[in-house]
Amino acid sequence: MSSKILTILDAAGENASFDLNMHWHRRDIPLGHYSAPALAEARLHATRDEFLDWVHQAGELEVDGKSVAQHLALNDGFSAWWLSPLFERYPLIYGKALFEIFKLRALELFLEQFEITEVVLYSNDARLICAVTALCAASGRECKIAQPSQTKPAQPFIARIKSWCRKQGVRHVAVAAVLNIRFLLRWLMATRRHFPRKPKVSPGGGIVVGTWFPNHDLKAAARGQFVSSYIPGLMPILEQSADHVHWFFMQARDDAAEAVRQRDKVAGAYAGMTFWEECVGLSDIPGVLAESLRMVCAASKLEGHLDRLSQWPGSRVNIRAYIQKLWDDGIVSDAMLSRLLLRRGIKNYVRAIGPQRVFLTTSELQFWERLLFCEAHKQNIPCIALQHSVISEVGFRTCLSEKMAANTDLMRQLPDVFVCNGNAARDVMVRGGCPPSMLRMAETLRYQYLREVSVKTCDQPHKLVVITGYGVDEVQAQFDLLLNALRNGAGSRYSEIVIKGHPVHPVSDLIKKMDFAQYGVVEIKTPVGEMLKEPAVFYVANSTAVAIEVMYARHPLIVQGVEDDFNFSPLAGQKGICFVHTPQELRQALENPQPATLQEDFFFFGAELGEWKKLLADFM
């Protein structure tokens, strides 16, 4: 058979030269070339299903007669595997690694389809070199590496520590003990000391609402009232349905003292407002530290089996190069310790609050929710998860393989009912493998105001509103596009340019660092609902659900596009959406902004929240 060579171009500036050419990071490519991101996106759902199978397979991998999940079991039988970022399945937690894995799988199929005999890789990326070299070796193909420069990539901190330990003969668990003690001391001083010594828990049967804080109406807070901006219309119904409504908060900001101050200001009649941090006492610290060190020991034992754990199902692809850091950071480092602290706080809270009628969360099926559901189910308390925002095709947390759905340990961590706020969300969850029996439709709560939003329309708005997301890389990419567009005169038609940051990722420092002030750009804290009432053009982050609100308000919308990542936009797949990838595209969109429309049944708007009343009546 004649040879056929594929050139993979990872570094910019390299010239294509062989039979077939693939660009590893780019979509905008010469005619006749192939784009790895585009190939990965084309088989998104198939690779997603394989990914879910791999996650299940990794947890069930047998080592010395026990599964990985069993090796990571705590004293009470709960496995820390469920807390690991590998199981979390969320692309933003994996960072760029997960999309790289999806591209690697697409590459394998490409090699088979075109009967490639040799690969020439232009790259300095150590992980990519390792993965492609291993794939070629496993499939009997020759692989040549051409490095444009010899710059050695920086080694992750944990990896450097482990390497040093091996050289010095120091046990990794000893170093982990020092680092974890350091983390605990910092947490006690920077966070825990700002909370009451004993948790503010008011026992009494009723409803527990788990959600993020802050999430309340600031105007109501100024009057000493608490009105959740996530479930505003549901609050009166909850109060009518139960004698007690308890609020259990995840803190969404770094300033613990300010969070406590705000909570105490709005508590009022809601005496049952509790942060998880205040449920962790000094007496809990030794036990949590011991659990974390036990995980370090277990992970060290499993380290030698990571190659087997990293094997993609039904494939020659091995993803160890991409999951090694996640393994180290998620199980060996203080990330696991912080989740074990959270678990202890949740266990203490559920014990202190006593028997309840139902637990309810504003849900994205994050690990803290699964911990809360797990503890509630131990007390035979039913759980409801209500859709927090929108459900993305690439969220993956809401996706289940058949084998996952058959795992009783996992299903105990999921709600009895997941409430979808529209057909769009339900369709995504069903396609992702969520059992239809778990799903129920009820009126949207957070976006109910969009039903009658009053908008002042204007043919040529002269205000530009920039809404950011919560991913660090995403914010930087969005700001880079904006700054380049402004430098080329894109802001000339706007008399006002404002930026609103995500509460999880403040942007004040970055705005100053990038000197947006020279273009008259200012940061604002105005609620999105208020901004939608005035004429404006909105340039929003790829991942933010604000894009949906802008469309319902019929404003011109520009959405940050992605070139080398998953498309997190809740509008992905919708027709007529303006996605921008380059400064030139953004400049053109800003000069000629266009409104867009959305499918009518995206959200379910019902009269007087009738479906919610029926749902709660079933549990009360």
Sketch out the chain's domains with CATH numbers: 1-42+96-153 (3.40.50), 46-81+156-201+276-354 (no CATH), 204-271+357-441 (3.40.50), 452-591 (3.40.50.2000)
- C-alpha 252/C-alpha 270 separation (Å) is 20
- C-alpha 440/C-alpha 435 separation (Å) is 11
The answer, yes or no, to whether residue 536 has pLDDT greater than 90, is: yes
Residue 495 CA: distances (Å) to CA of 161, 333, 508, 620 = 52, 48, 21, 54
pTM above 0.85, yes or no: yes
Residue 389 CA: distances (Å) to CA of 235, 261, 301, 550 = 17, 27, 40, 14
The answer, yes or no, to whether residue 95 has pLDDT greater than 60, is: yes
Q: Do the beta carbons of residue 245 and residue 228 sit within 8 Å? A: no
- C-alpha 15/C-alpha 412 separation (Å) is 54
DSSP secondary structure string for all residues of 361-410: EEES--HHHHHHHHHHHHTT--EEEEE-S---TT--TT---HHHHT-HHH
Residue 119 CA: distances (Å) to CA of 4, 16, 27, 47 = 9, 12, 20, 22
pLDDT in tens, 292-351: 999 989 998 998 999 999 999 999 999 999 999 899 888 877 889 999 999 999 999 999
pLDDT of residue 565: 93
Which of 201, 479, 209, 235 minimizes the C-alpha distance to 354?
Answer: 201
- C-alpha 549/C-alpha 532 separation (Å) is 8
Could you tell me the two tokens for 619?
């549990």
Mean pLDDT computed over 546-570 = 91
Which of 590, 580, 586, 594 minimizes the C-alpha distance to 27?
Answer: 580
> Which three-class secondary structure state does DSSP give residue 244?
strand
Question: From start to end of 147-237, where are the E strands?
Answer: 206-213
pLDDT in tens, 269-281: 455 899 999 999 9
Question: From the CA atom positions of the chain, what is the Rg in Å?
Answer: 25
pLDDT of residue 174: 77
Four-CA torsion 114, 117, 120, 126, nearest 10 degrees = 90
Mean pLDDT computed over 478-490 = 93
Q: How many degrees, rounded to 5, is the angle at CA 473 between CA 468 and CA 479? A: 50
- C-alpha 210/C-alpha 535 separation (Å) is 35
The answer, yes or no, to whether residue 5 has pLDDT greater than 50, is: yes
Q: Name the pairing type of β-strands 273-275 and 244-251.
A: parallel
Highest mean pLDDT among 253-262, 297-306, 590-599: 297-306
Q: Do the beta carbons of residue 227 and residue 267 sit within 8 Å? A: no
Residue 328 per-residue DSSP state: I
- C-alpha 581/C-alpha 583 separation (Å) is 7
Work out the pLDDT band at 267, boundaries 50, 70, 90: confident
Highest mean pLDDT among 106-120, 203-217, 228-242, 440-454: 106-120
- C-alpha 103/C-alpha 85 separation (Å) is 20
Which of 152, 128, 95, 149 minimizes the C-alpha distance to 22?
Answer: 128
Residue 284 per-residue DSSP state: G
Q: Which of 8-17, 297-306, 474-483 bottoms out in mean pLDDT, i.e. has the lowest?
A: 8-17
Specify the higher pLDDT residue, 525 or 266: 525
Question: Quick one: residue 578, left, alpha or beta (phi over 0 = left, psi -120 to 50 = alpha)?
Answer: beta
Which of 243, 11, 269 minimizes the C-alpha distance to 129?
Answer: 11
- C-alpha 489/C-alpha 31 separation (Å) is 31
Specify the higher pLDDT residue, 329 or 134: 134
% of the chain with per-residue pLDDT over 70: 92
The answer, yes or no, to whether residue 118 has pLDDT greater than 70, is: yes
Q: How many degrees, rounded to 5, is the angle at CA 348 between CA 345 and CA 350? A: 105
Mean pLDDT computed over 127-150 = 91
Residues 6+ apart with CB under 8 A from 106: 36, 39, 40, 42, 43, 47
Work out the pLDDT band at 570, boundaries 50, 70, 90: confident
- Residue that has been written with the tokens 């402004």 in this structure: 486
Sign of CA dihedral 409, 410, 413, 417: negative
The answer, yes or no, to whether residue 167 has pLDDT greater than 60, is: no
The answer, yes or no, to whether residue 609 has pLDDT greater than 60, is: yes
The answer, yes or no, to whether residue 522 has pLDDT greater than 80, is: yes
pLDDT of residue 169: 47
Q: How many degrees, rounded to 5, is the angle at CA 347 between CA 344 and CA 353? A: 135
Q: For residue 210, give the amino acid letter.
A: G
Could you tell me the two tokens for 216?
């309340």
- Residue that has been written with the tokens 């659990």 in this structure: 291
